Structure 1
């Protein structure tokens, strides 16, 4: 009886930390929020400031004295921001769809199917994670050019149609499915596609959401590869188009800040709308994997 009471009291003390621990936790959370959210708020404030306000004042003023949207209008007047946004959105959506479908199929093959050289293939996929993207930049460009996809949005999308990290994430999710369930589906006569649709997919949807969100952010934020493969300014993505602001309005940080906020808004909206599913997928992958 005494041991049971001691266990209960210890669990309660763990679940309810002391006041100093609570204070320390909130201090750390506030500090992390300032570090992560502070630069965005500073950029937002800077984008709303008029040309008569000092943007280099210290300490910086987060609330503009005369807020204006003129800086955003200046961005729209100097670059086709809606066309660039459409290009980025198109590439991002296609990349999300291809990564979710192809990574799920590849993850299923690596985790559930038995074939020769599976270990070698897995080692090759893992080895690609050790190489920085700049190492394969030249070979990727030569490949895309040979396919006739240079200076096209297809060329922007092709090298990241499926990525190694997403394959490994989906393989980890598939491994969480009991092998007996997949064996039972095989005995019942289910084909590979039927197993993927009716057995695998319902169990890996949470991780697929993680893959989708990571793929969207990667495609939306990518700057170097679109800059290399695209030569026509009319086909630029948003991140490459925003570089024009930096070169043309380097002396006016308000306009550059407005362009940065425009580029960040879609990601913020997407993450705010899908954060529950995202963290649920991360939790499922961490627990089951």
Structure 2
């Protein structure tokens, strides 16, 4: 019985493949630790007593679990009012941004009008401008309109859809032109083309767009903080700051408990839709 010698080139290729896999797993472990360690610290601290939080050196596990921190987080401040405000702001902004993003991307890809390239360049330029730069001008405008401490004062300036338009446009460009032309030959108008052809082919990308939008708006802090004067319109990220004791030593247990409660809804949404989101973000990478 004879054995076939493995060529040296194949041995080198197998060795490189194993090393690549090893480095890939090592990098993944590092990323998981970097992301997961702060989340673990927040969760553990939410069950700590004040003495365990300020002890030196720091301890990773509480000596006594104190679930009462969650009661303090929801009773010390109007937590459920903040939650209601976050739901209102996030829901309205998600719907508005989704509708505007899809329609604007559809117009840029499938409709013909003068200046379409200029419009797209303006959208790209908007992606490069940090939101903090426009805070002063937006604040002055909202104050003149009398919208301070109102939901519209928080929602309207945040309703820009540059990222969503860019994402959906790239996906629409990846739809095979044969399908679009066949629909047009069947006398499909713009509205029918959108709802009967384009949107059914864009499910994963729309889920990705919606998920990213919900996560971003749920965690929005700076603009709602500037616009809200009391708990009537303040969302959860702003409301959590009221748990800090500025006159003395902050009891971080209730603060971390409120943070955990704030993360849970959006974490559930993200975990439920993460597969569709990844598929949607990569769907435009290969055209056709």
- Residue number in structure 2 paired with 1:241: 239
CA contact (8 A) 1:46 1:55 kept: no
Distance in 1 between residues matched to 2:24 and 2:168, nearest whole Å: 33
Which residues of 2 match residues 1-289 of structure 1 at below 5 A? 13=14, 17-18=17-18, 20-58=19-57, 60-248=58-246, 250-288=249-287
User: Hey, what's the Cα distance between the residues in 2 that align with 1:141 and 1:52?
Assistant: 42
Shift of 1:52: 4.0
SS in 2 for 1:40: helix
Unaligned runs of 5+ in 1: none
How many residues are paired up? Answer: 281
Q: Distance in 1 between matches of 2:196 and 2:186?
A: 13
Runs of at least 5 residues in structure 2 that lack an aligned partner in the other structure: 1-5
Distance 1:229 1:145 in 2: 9
Q: Is the 8 A contact 1:250 1:256 kept in 2?
A: no
SS in 1 for 2:49: coil
Moved more, 248-257 or 279-288: 248-257
Matched residue SS, 1:235: coil
After TM superposition, which residue ranges in structure 1, 4 or more long, deviate above 6 angstroms? none
Question: CA–CA distance in 2 between the matches of 1:221 and 1:25?
Answer: 31
**TM-superposed deviation, 1:179:** 2.5
TM-superposed deviation, 1:50: 2.1
Quick one: distance in 2 between partners of 1:121 and 1:257? 44
> Aligned to 2:232, what secondary structure does the other structure show?
helix
- Alpha-carbon distance change, 13 to 215 in structure 1, aligned in 2, over 3 angstroms: same
